[in-house]
Amino acid sequence: MSPWLPALIAIFSWWFCTGIILLIVRHADGGDAVAHERNVALTVPVLAMGSAGVVISAPEVTVGNVYLAFVSTLMIWGWIELAFLSGVISGPERRPCPPDLSGADHFVRALRTVSHHELLLLLALLVFLKMTRGAENTIAFWTYLILFAARISAKLNLFFGVPRINTEFVPRPLEHLKSYSLQGPITMAFPIGATLLSIAASCFSERTFSAQNPEAFVGFTLLTVLAGLAALEHWLMVVPLPDAKLWRWMLPETPAFQAKDKNHEL
């Protein structure tokens, strides 16, 4: 069994889902006052289809169901991210961070900017656990757990400080979030997050090559690549690579686009 096909599918799915979300959000930035809210409402069927896919794929482990669970989870995750980037589900605090705010007050205020999103992510994790508990196919749960852990770690790193912060794709409704991120030396949050994700990728990789059937092989390959991509995204907050070029070419420019925000450019 070759890991190339599931690995390429995982990489393409990650790139494509990210690109579609950024494209929708960028178009809405140049639209009318309710463009973002309208997009979130119009894409609710994507959330519904993803949820149905998780339910349908859970009872039986087949190669098709493994792929269905993986893609369905990305659809659910994508809708949640779209709702966040559109400012529909973010947090009650929408003002920029005062320059003199620090310590616990800074953390609490920063948390209030994304608290609704964090609660939704946690609620979705519990729903995934409920939907896949006792099921034969748990790929959906593990896929979501990787995405959930990576997102929480990334947000903590942006708050505590990383050398490189890419604000190029921050949409208009979340402009205030730029003021809450700290660009500076890494803290312990970075090695903890990057190491845990790397360990997860290594564990899934070991299970991939010890798999006894195609279903397990494909499933663990997908999880290995996803965890590896999550670890890579952490390193891109440190290493100066032009990762934004992966999606910039497909996005229209808007008046809000600022060249100075291309912080990952070499």
Q: Note the pLDDT of residue 240.
A: 84
Report pLDDT digits (tens) over 2-49.
889 999 999 999 999 999 999 999 999 988 889 999 999 999 999 999
Q: Note the pLDDT of residue 101.
A: 84
Element (H, E) at 239: none
Query: Which tokens is 31 given?
Result: 């639209």
Q: Radius of gyration of the chain from Cα atoms?
A: 19
Residue for token digits 């757990």?
A: 145
CA dihedral 109, 110, 116, 119 (to 10 degrees): -110
Report pLDDT digits (tens) over 202-216.
999 999 999 999 999
Q: Nearest to residue 231, comparing CAs of 262, 261, 202?
A: 202
Residue for token digits 């925000």?
A: 261
pTM flag (> 0.85):
yes
Residues of the chain whose pLDDT is less than 50? 256-266
Q: Note the pLDDT of residue 255.
A: 53
